[in-house]
Amino acid sequence: MTVLDCFKQASRRLLAQDQNSLFTGTDAFQIKMQAIISEAILDIAQQHDWLALTKQCTLTTDGQTADFDLPADYGRMLVKSDVHSSIWSVNYQAAKDLDEWTQLQRFMPSTIPGYWIIYGGQMHLMPAPRINENPCFWYIVSNLVRGDDGTLKPQFTTDSDTFLLDEQLLVLAMIWRWKQAEGLDYAEDMQNYEVRLSQLAAKDHGSKPIRSSRNGLNRLGVWALAR
């Protein structure tokens, strides 16, 4: 289902009208809905670690480099973010903030394989990974839309574009957001959206917002071992 199909469904519900275009028209309803759709897909992408938006990045290490550019389509880390070593049975530990990172740089404890943080568009590891250690991590992509030529992009730009996630969820988001923008009662419509969002998230097996402290242990409770 294209974004135009989604727009038509929402328009029938909201105005009892059919629409022939979304991005080629200049009608006030079309222009407002373009902004609403842009906000809606970004919000939906943030609500869950959707498997359809999840990719793996593997860093190529040379034994000296410690700072790595993020992928071009990087959006965010998963809620349960880990950076995995290929030679140790435990993962890199995340620095909680830049202040802790500064302290680690000054007084680095002897933790293996080390620590990670993201800032300035880069993944930073400490100490520099060994040659061919090639750590990897999972992330959520920033490209949420597929063009009719198969090209992935962050936003809708043409009527024939399609959403990478559930189109019916997008329709429900369009409806309650438009009513909210118009000052109309949108409580029931928002509830319908939230119910479908919860149902879809429950069926999708992306990471949930639950973290556990490993404190030097891997998931099997074994102290770090070189592979």
Q: Which domain holds residue 61?
A: 51-141
Q: Is residue 94 helix, strand or coil? A: strand
Confidence of residue 208 (pLDDT cuts 50, 70, 90): low
Q: State pTM to two decimals.
A: 0.86
**Looking up tokens 């990974």, which residue turns up?**
129
Q: Write the pLDDT tens digit of every residue in 23-82.
A: 998 899 999 999 999 999 999 999 999 999 999 999 999 999 999 999 999 999 999 989
Q: Write the pLDDT tens digit of every residue in 122-157.
A: 999 999 999 999 999 999 999 999 999 999 999 999
Residue 214 above 90 pLDDT?
no
The closest of 113, 115, 110, 111 to 126, measured between CA atoms, is 115
Alpha helices (H) along 79-166? 98-106
- Let me know whether 131 and 117 are in one domain: yes
- Let me know whether 106 and 70 are in one domain: yes
- Let me know whether 13 and 77 are in one domain: no
Residue 224 confidence (pLDDT):
46
Integer CA distances (angstroms), 192 to 46, 72, 88, 155, in order? 18, 35, 46, 24
- Let me know whether 61 and 45 are in one domain: no
Residues near 222 by Cβ (< 8 Å), separated by ≥ 6? 89
Confidence of residue 205 (pLDDT cuts 50, 70, 90): confident
Helix axes 167-181, 3-15, angle to 10 degrees: 40
- Let me know whether 176 and 94 are in one domain: no
- Let me know whether 168 and 181 are in one domain: yes
Query: Does residue 168 lie in a domain region?
Result: yes
Q: Kindly tell me the number of DSSP H helices and DSSP E strands found in the chain.
A: 5, 11
125 near 83, Cβ under 8 Å? yes
